């Protein structure tokens, strides 16, 4: 991917400085380079370099900065000044209370995606209460008997780092979670995160485009829950994204076609090839897309409940659909 090159500026740490002075100097350098939240980024990089938590950083603020770390510190600050996301520099991002390895092969997990996971967990607990074994009367008895013979299966389409899939597997160890991705490198990152959190052996990993590896098998997988945070940026809008996203995050995980909605259209079409449409389908979307995707899902008549979930900024960010009635097509 072609980078939008910034002027090459060198960062020279001041000799004999304190840890606090190192942070302030780096903050000023990053701010001059056009980096947003320069102080916060400098603190994150400093904690990463020195292996300190925030409380320890404040405690050691007036201690001498280790001279042996000056070269490594300069390299970290210069990488951030060029726009590289701090998560890629550190190789990690937290999601739903767990640390996840991230590389330039995967999208960096966002806090708003945690709301999508929460909505799916709540919807599943409503349809299949684990504590009582009771099921909504609207669900067909034959469906329930068939499902009782196997574990609930959730599929995370376009898993990337595996943040969604691994979180579901950790939160619901009784489920079988399947993760798909078009990128083999992304699946490797996701599997490393599953192994890190003790979930790899309870998960399936499928390489392919969206739902294709699920539906194209000789015996298509039965899926109860489908969840996806697919590429949703309109192709023409990518050049206008902030440089941290535009120049460093994988375009494969960003480009949703001309209007950003191609992945949703394709997944809804692919669902026609499934043995049974999932009882729960949940998508993350871009700004201004929620109502159109909700309409597309309603037009299928597969689900009798469809709702939009706002993110922390009040933007419609997710659509979740539930089938609780046997009258749905």
User: Residue 109's Cα: distance from chain center in Å?
Assistant: 4
Question: pLDDT, tens digit, for every residue of 206-241?
Answer: 999 999 999 887 777 899 999 999 999 999 999 999
Contact 43, 54 (CB under 8 A): yes
- pLDDT for position 150: 65
Q: Given pLDDT bands bounded at 50, 70 and 90, which one contains residue 329?
A: low
Q: Which residue has the tokens 């389908």?
A: 281
Strand pairing partners for 305? 322
Q: Pick the residue with more confidence: 68 or 132?
A: 68
- Average pLDDT of 88-110? 97
Across the range 246-254, mean pLDDT stands at: 93
- Scored b (16 or more CB within 10 A) or e, 241-272 reads eebbebbbbbebbbbbbeebbbbbebbbebbe
Residue 136 confidence (pLDDT) above 90: no
Per-residue pLDDT averaged across 85-105, rounded?
97
Report d(CA 191, CA 72) in Å as an integer. Answer: 29
Is the pLDDT at 138 greater than 70? The verdict is no
In the predicted model, what is the mean pLDDT of the chain?
Answer: 90
- Greatest distance between any 2 Cα atoms in the chain: 74
Q: Is the pTM of this model over 0.85?
A: yes
Q: Mean pLDDT, to the nearest integer, of 126-138?
A: 60
Please report the pLDDT score of residue 14 as a whole number: 87
Tokens 């109860």, residue? 224
First-to-last CA distance in the chain?
A: 44
Q: What are the contacts of 253-261 at 24+ separation with CB within 8 A? A: 253/106, 253/107, 253/158, 253/160, 253/186, 254/107, 255/231, 256/230, 256/231, 256/232, 256/286, 258/234, 259/234, 260/231, 260/232, 260/233, 260/234, 260/286, 260/289, 261/232, 261/289, 261/292, 261/293, 261/296
Characterise 97 by phi-psi region: left (phi > 0), alpha (psi -120 to 50), beta (else): left
Check residue 132 and give its pLDDT: 38
């Amino acid at each position: 991917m072609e980078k939008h090159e910034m002027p090459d500026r060198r960062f020279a740490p001041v000799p004999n400085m304190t840890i606090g002075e190192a942070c302030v100097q780096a903050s000023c350098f990053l701010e001059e380079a056009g980096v947003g939240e320069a102080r916060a980024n400098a603190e994150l990089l400093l904690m990463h370099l020195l292996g300190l938590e925030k409380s320890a950083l404040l405690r050691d603020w007036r201690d001498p900065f280790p001279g042996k770390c000056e070269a490594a510190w300069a390299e970290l600050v210069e990488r951030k000044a060029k726009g590289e996301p701090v998560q890629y520099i550190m190789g990690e991002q937290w999601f739903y209370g767990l640390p996840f390895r991230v590389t330039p092969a995967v999208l960096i997990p966002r806090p708003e995606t945690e709301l999508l996971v929460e909505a799916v967990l709540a919807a599943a607990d409503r349809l299949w209460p684990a504590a009582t074994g009771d099921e909504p009367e609207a669900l067909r008895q034959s469906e329930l008997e068939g499902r009782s013979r196997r574990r609930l299966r959730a599929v995370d389409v376009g898993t990337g780092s595996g943040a969604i899939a691994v979180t579901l597997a950790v939160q619901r160890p009784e489920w079988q979670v399947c993760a798909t991705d078009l990128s083999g490198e992304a699946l490797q990152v996701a599997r490393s995160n599953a192994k890190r959190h003790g979930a790899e052996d309870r998960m399936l990993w499928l390489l392919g485009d969206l739902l294709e590896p699920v539906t194209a098998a000789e015996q298509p997988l039965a899926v109860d829950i489908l969840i996806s945070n697919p590429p949703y940026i309109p192709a023409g809008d990518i050049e206008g994204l902030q440089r941290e996203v535009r120049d460093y995050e994988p375009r494969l995980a960003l480009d949703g076609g001309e209007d950003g909605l191609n992945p949703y259209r394709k997944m809804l079409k692919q669902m026609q090839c499934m043995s049974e449409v999932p009882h729960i389908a949940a998508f993350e979307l871009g700004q201004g897309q929620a109502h159109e995707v909700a309409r597309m899902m309603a037009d299928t008549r597969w689900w009798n409940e469809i709702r939009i979930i706002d993110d922390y900024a009040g933007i419609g960010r997710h659509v979740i659909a539930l089938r609780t009635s046997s009258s749905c097509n």
